[in-house]
Amino acid sequence: MSRILNRRHALGAAAAMWAGFEGLPVAMADTSPAAGGAAALDPLLTYRKMHFRSDDGLVFWWLQGIKYGQVDATLTPLYNSSIGTLQRIKYRPDGGFDVTQLEMNVMLDLATGEPLESWRNPYTNEVLPVRLSPVGPTVTRYGADNVRVLPKEIGGTPLEATATVHPPSIVADDVFQRDESVARVFTPGRAKPFEVNDIAMYHGSVADLKNPKTTVGAATVFFAEVTGWQRWMNMGDRPGGLTSRMFGRKVRRYEDLPAQWRANLARVAPKIAADPIAALDAPAARFER
């Protein structure tokens, strides 16, 4: 989301997409030898290295976990989300940078782990077709101070969004940083906007992030979101919504994304899988949640 994530997915990986920078003072100073001194961390570079990279190039995130239906306090597993996000970072002469991002969620059967071609809605018993619905590609601009220009639309659909990046917490060599975002997407044909509330907790290493030779910091993420029902589920005005609990990692190459996700993408979107980097320059898919 940082959108990934300053992401994702459906809109979830969007945590990564909508994260904005609001200053990163060190929350818990640790001067132990193992940490090498939390004060040695540069806040601007820490954010860039952990979420993206500190130079031009590509990075990739994977996320996986269960999508649940939530009615009151009852959670119903619906399917597994298996997400790959492609990001191209380009630094500008003014010290800011642009992120071009494409997120693809391959929905998997809970029992078999196979890509879904159809899905039975447990609330309505209706069998519905399933197709890949990418988010992006979108281009996000960050200032020299890492402040993100929040978008006014996504995939041609009007959007209202707010985002908060919290100060990092540092314990010995562990760096944790929490990003939160809230969005309302005004999808044509919906009586109410599609609402998203998500949180991403990034984790990295002090030693890695403060190393001047590191440009792509090793990082993992835990991601959770609460949204309204997606329109394709045909839930109408039924009470409740969706929630996700996911985990993932940043990698340097497309080939380092999980082999199963790459194979599944080739099954459901062979043209994208044949040249995924070229897909970053394709027209943005319409956002239809």
**239-263 pLDDT, tens per residue?**
999 999 999 999 999 999 999 999 9
d(CA 141, CA 90): 10
Nearest CA to 103 out of 186, 178, 16, 164 is that of 16
Instruction: Mention every residue, 6+ apart, whose C-beta is less than 8 A from residue 247.
Output: 63, 64, 65, 220, 221, 222, 223
| pLDDT of residue 169 exceeding 80 | yes
Domain annotation covers residue 209: yes
The average pLDDT across 183-197 equals 79
Q: Percent of the chain beyond pLDDT 90?
A: 63
Q: Percent of the chain beyond pLDDT 70?
A: 82
Least confident of 28-37, 147-156, 185-194, 238-247: 28-37
Q: How many residues does the chain have?
A: 289
| pLDDT of residue 16 exceeding 80 | no
Place of tokens 């509330």: 197
List the domain range (segments joined by +) for residue 166. Answer: 14-281
Q: At 160, is the pLDDT very low, low, confident or very high (cuts 50, 70, 90)?
A: confident
Phi, psi of 262 (to 5 degrees): -65, -40
Domain annotation covers residue 288: no
Q: How many domains does the chain contain in total?
A: 1
| pLDDT of residue 51 exceeding 50 | yes
Please tell me the predicted confidence (pLDDT) of residue 23: 33
Domain annotation covers residue 3: no
Domain annotation covers residue 4: no
Three-state SS for 212? Answer: coil
Q: At 283, is the pLDDT very low, low, confident or very high (cuts 50, 70, 90)?
A: confident
Domain annotation covers residue 139: yes
d(CA 185, CA 162): 12
| 264 within 8 A of 86, measured Cβ to Cβ | no
| pLDDT of residue 41 exceeding 70 | yes
The average pLDDT across 170-180 equals 94
The DSSP code for 148 is: B
Domain annotation covers residue 287: no
Domain annotation covers residue 242: yes
Nearest CA to 219 out of 276, 179, 261 is that of 179
Please tell me the predicted confidence (pLDDT) of residue 151: 67
Nearest CA to 219 out of 204, 207, 206, 200 is that of 204
**211-226 pLDDT, tens per residue?**
999 999 999 999 999 9
pTM for the predicted model, two decimal places:
0.82
Identify which has the larger pLDDT, 238 or 14. Answer: 238
Domain annotation covers residue 289: no
Identify which has the larger pLDDT, 147 or 243. Answer: 243
